[in-house]
Amino acid sequence: MTSPAAPPAFHEPVLVREVAQLLGNARHVLDCTLGGGGHARALLAQGARVTGLDQDPAAIRAAVSQLAHWVDRGAFTAVQANFADVDQRPGLADAAWDGILLDLGVSSHQLDEEARGFTFRAGAPLDMRMRPDAPLDAARLLNESSEHELIRIFREHADEPRSGRLAREIVRRRATRPFRVSDDLVGAIRAVLGPRSGPAQFAPIFQAVRIAVNDEIGILQRSLPALRDRLTPGGVMAVIAYHSGEDRLVKHAFADWSAACVCPPKQPVCTCRGAPLGATVTRKPVRASAAE
């Protein structure tokens, strides 16, 4: 089957060829992070059926438009949902797939659309919600979180050695002027890290706030076992991670699933009979090329 030419991209995904190879034998794929449908397009072109999830309605609209060729043929279905909600969504709760893909992090469209507040460009709102109607945005998190919670966020998600000083500076500043735009957070960062601080220093702090706003690590931790249980025998799960916390979590999960004994660590007697839940299909992580 000849696939149509791709329209202008909503998001430029990485590792498209590698994902297509890893999931090359999958006939029904769950794309948990649809974005603009870049990975889904490659899988559909191979003859797979794809169910795509995304909590961002803009991503759903873009994917349905870009993949209309396969929508019309019943090969592609888009569902506005977080992959954490698979067990609760009608039509998904009892489904199984022989390929599951997660491309974690933020899309290029979300970064480029200033009103979404994922960027530290001057004047951008402190939003960062992947689901636009979610109750917690970045401004609320920065204005209402305790100093202790802010320290945890910057320490765990940004590996920032001056997390305590940064949290105290935010608490001090918000007492007289609430945080509303990116400049407010940039000002606090520069007060702690120095006036010459730039994008290299801003990026991990803003990323940490985004991860906390969307509970990205918590959702991933809760979802991986549930998604694993939806794989058919011989199915493949592929996860693209960009943050060290996500990477560690995924590596540990995959290692646990491929271990000889998968019983809980404190269980005194093995009841799994030494049957691993799966096996890794690559000897080492697949990395994006320098060009990507």
pLDDT of residue 219: 96
pLDDT at 225: 94
- pLDDT for the residue 276: 75
Question: What single string gives the DSSP state of each residue in 144-182?
Answer: HS-HHHHHHHHHHHH--TTHHHHHHHHHHHHTTS---BH
What are the pLDDT digits (tens) for 100-123?
999 998 877 777 788 888 888 889
Enumerate long-range contacts of 247-255, CB under 8 Å, 24 or more apart. Answer: 247/285, 249/217, 249/220, 249/221, 249/224, 250/220, 250/224, 253/224, 253/225, 253/228, 254/278, 254/280
Return the residue matching tokens 């839940």. 277
CA 81-213-148 angle, 5° bins: 145
Q: What is the CA radius of gyration of the chain?
A: 21
Asked whether the beta carbons of 60 and 130 are under 8 A apart, the reply is no
> Is 207 within 8 Å of 128 (Cβ atoms)?
no
Residues pairing with 236 in the sheet? 99
Looking at the DSSP assignment, which residues form a beta bridge with residue 28?
49
Residue type, 63: A
Q: What is the pLDDT of residue 260?
A: 74
Report residue 190: phi and psi, to 5°.
-65, -30
| Tens-digit pLDDT profile for residues 164-202 | 999 999 999 999 999 999 999 999 999 999 999 999 999
What global pTM score does this model have?
A: 0.88
- Helix (H) or strand (E) segment spanning residue 142: helix 138-144
From CA 140, how far away is CA 134, in angstroms rounded? 12
CA distance 133 to 165: 32
Please give the chain's pLDDT, 292 residues, in tens: 445 544 445 667 889 999 999 999 999 999 999 998 999 999 999 999 999 999 999 999 999 999 999 999 999 999 999 999 999 888 898 899 999 999 998 877 777 788 888 888 889 999 999 999 999 999 999 999 999 999 999 999 999 999 999 999 999 999 999 999 999 999 999 999 999 999 999 999 999 999 999 999 999 999 999 999 999 999 999 999 999 999 999 999 998 888 877 777 788 888 877 777 887 887 777 777 666 6
* Domains of the chain with bracketed CATH: 1-116+215-292 (3.40.50.150), 135-213 (1.10.150.170)
